[in-house]
Structure 1
Amino acid sequence: MTMKIYGDPGSGSLRRVTTAAKIMGIELERVKVDLFKGESQTEEFKLRLNPHGLTPVLVDGDFVLYEAAAINLYLANKMNSPLLGTTEKDRSRVLQWMFWSGEQWRTFTVTIFDERVGKTVMNLPKDENLIAFAEGKIRAAAKVLDKHLEGRAFMVGDALTLADLDVAAPFSQAGRARFPLGEFPNLVAWHDNLLRSFPAWAETKAEVDDRMDTFLASVGVTL
């Protein structure tokens, strides 16, 4: 039975899962959930798939799993994939950076996306103080990343891991939300290398861009 992945093609979180699946050769049946139409906010969705009303959600038979990082770990464990790291220490470092990414990195980029993109779409006033706070957090985290990535092609070891995909996720919306990532040359060079070296990451970028650009044009929003 083919596993199903529920999500919106404009989602950077879904992108992390679909990229990892492509790299591992896992076939996932895509089930589109239109976030802009509120399809993840229905009582049925929350009861059956994710009580938070968020995507992506993986369904493997009668097993339901949400949170992109958890989904990727589940898929990689099923495949015994090197995306987990190939040594005990590297696997621990992969987990370190995945947890770091959720706590110190992506949460603040989501805040800015909501303020600069979400509120523009909804014609609501932006909280500039909140944006400034989140940008400060992003710069502090990016400074750590930039130092870590000096002379490195990957977050952990000498090959792509799930840590790279987690940390790279904010680049999915960087232009639209104007994250201050371009200030950090090692970080930019690392991400450019991912786009060049892994077609799956470039393909999912094109999918996110097409979905977002089409939606924004449909509602007459220019960022």
Structure 2
Amino acid sequence: MTIKIFGDAGSGSLRRVTTAAKIMGIEIERVNVDLFKGESQTEAFRSRLNPHGLTPVLEDGDFILYEAAAINLYLAGKVNSPLLGTTEKERLEVLQWMFWSGEQWRIFATTLFDERVGKTVMGLPQDEAVVAFAEGKMRAAAKVLDKHLEGRKFMVGQALTLADFDVAGPFSQIDRSRPPLRDYPNLMAWHDNLLQSVPEWAQTKAEVDHRIDSFLASVGVTL
């Protein structure tokens, strides 16, 4: 039975899953959930797939799993992928950065997207205090990342892991929500290396860009 992944092509979180699945050679059936039409907010979606009304969601037979990081760990475990790390120490470091990214990093990138993109689409004013708070948190985290990535091509060890995708998530909307990433040269060099050396990451960037930019154009929004 093919694994189903529910999500919107404009989602950086879905991007993390589809990229990892491609690299691992795992066949998935993508089921489109239009977030702009509120399709994840229906009672049917919430009751069967995710009570939070968020994507992506994995369905593998009768098993349902949400949160992109958990989905990637599940997929990697099915094929014993080196994306999990190749030693016990590496596997723990991969988990460390994945957990760190969720708590210290991506949440604030999402806040900036909500303020700078979501509210613009809805015709609402940005809350500048919220923007300043999120940017401050991202800068504090980016300083840590920039130091960690000095002389490195990957987050953990000498090869690509799931930690790279989790930390790279905010780059999916860099030109729209404008997270303060370009002030950190090691961070930018690391992400440029991902785009150049991981074709699957570059391919999903094009997909996200097309989806979001097409939607913004359709509603007459220029950021």
TM-score (norm 1): 1.00
Shift of 1:39: 0.2
1:99 corresponds to which residue? 99
Alpha-carbon distance in 2 for matches of 1:172, 1:179: 10
Which residue in 2 is equivalent to 1:178? 178
Name the structure 1 match of 2:75: 75
Q: State the alpha-carbon separation in 1 of the partners of residues 112 and 84 from structure 2.
A: 30
Q: Distance in 1 between matches of 2:197 and 2:26?
A: 19
The aligned amino acid for 1:154 is F
User: Could you tell me how far 1:125 is from its partner in structure 2?
Assistant: 1.1
* 1:34 Cα deviation after fit: 0.1
Letter in 1 for 2:153: A
Which runs of 5 or more structure 2 residues have no equivalent in the other structure?
Answer: none
C-alpha distance in 1 between matches for 2:74 and 2:177: 30
What is the DSSP-based 3-state SS (H/G/I as helix, E as strand, rest coil) of the residue aligned with 1:47?
helix
Matched, 1:160 2:160: yes
CA distance, structure 1, for counterparts of residue 198 and residue 112 of structure 2:
27
Counterpart of 2:43 in structure 1: which amino acid? E
> TM-score of the superposition, structure 2-length normalised?
1.00
| Structure 1: distance between partners of 2:214 and 2:15 | 17
Equivalent position of 2:89 in the other structure:
89
Matches for 1:25-174 after TM superposition, within 5 Å: 25-174=25-174
AA aligned opposite 1:35: L
Residue matched to 2:6: 6
SS in 1 for 2:176: helix
Matched to 2:164, the amino acid is D
Instruction: Determine the structure 2 residue equivalent to 1:210.
Output: 210
Cα distance in 2, alignment partners of residues 79 and 160 from structure 1? 16
Task: Report SS of the residue matched to 1:175.
Answer: coil
The 2-side partners of 1:195 and 1:27 are apart by 22
Deviations 1:179-220 (A, max 9, x none): 110000000000000000011000000000000000000000
SS in 2 for 1:65: strand
Q: Which residue matches 1:187?
A: 187
CA–CA distance in structure 2, aligned partners of residues 121 and 79 of structure 1 = 41
Partner Cα separation in structure 2 for residue 74 and residue 15 of structure 1: 16
| Equivalent residue number for residue 19 of structure 1 | 19
Q: Deviation at 1:21?
A: 0.1
> Identity of paired residues, percent?
80
For 1:78 and 1:126, the matched residues in 2 are separated by 43
Structure 1 segments, 4+ long, off by >6 Å, are none
Give the Cα separation in 2 of the matches to 1:209 and 1:126: 23
Shift of 1:146: 0.2
Q: Number of residue pairs matched? A: 223
Supply the distance in 1 between the matched residues of 2:180 and 2:52 (Cα, whole angstroms): 29
Amino acid at match of 1:203: Q
